[in-house]
Amino acid sequence: MAKYVGSVSTPKERKKTPNDVVMTKPITAKWIVDYFAPSGKLLEPCKGDGAFYNPLKNYGDTDWCEIREGKDFFNYTKKVDWIITNPPFSIFDNFLIKAFECSDNVVFFCPLNKVFKGKKLDMKICEYGDIKEIIHMGGGSQHGFPFGFSTGCIHYQKDYKGDIKYTRVYDTI
């Protein structure tokens, strides 16, 4: 995941912080990609150093965005089957809504509290489909994040209506 560089011109860009640059450990990213085993057209919207992008290439036709390399996810217009990423935390809501516009399956590796912070975001999730699975992966510091908040993956699926699977994998990575 990368921070936005350059002039700040929109409200969502003004919210970005240097803390948005939190690179996922490659071993964690590979475990996540292998767990979901996505297929079809894939997108890594925050390529960063390639922790998710590199293993995604083994599963399908993979595209990427990276603001530091001139490819802003907010300008992405193609449709994909899967997005798997560690999103920028300071613009989490906007990033999730943009991901919903592009993909039928969205997996965010993030602090779990980001998902359950309010009714407005929950309503957007319900409009899209719903959460299909939550994978609780322990504390963030275990995965290289500069905090210990509970961290994991949230798999959102378009038009999904059903039970939410909850999985704990504290010590497997």
Mean pLDDT rounded to a whole number for the chain? 88
Angle between the N-to-C axes of helices 119-128 and 92-102, in degrees from 0 to 180, rounded to the nearest 10: 10
Residue 14 has a pLDDT of 41
Tokens of 106: 């969205």
Residue 134 has a pLDDT of 97
Residue 20 has a pLDDT of 57
**Which ranges of the chain have pLDDT less than 70?**
1-21, 172
Tokens of 104: 């039928």
pLDDT digits (tens, 9 = 90+) for 88-131: 988 999 999 999 999 999 999 999 999 888 899 999 999 999 99
Place of tokens 């390529």: 47
Residue 173 has a pLDDT of 72
Burial class (CB in 10 A: 0-12, 13-18, 19+), 169: middle
Nearest to 80, CA basis, from 101, 55, 52: 101
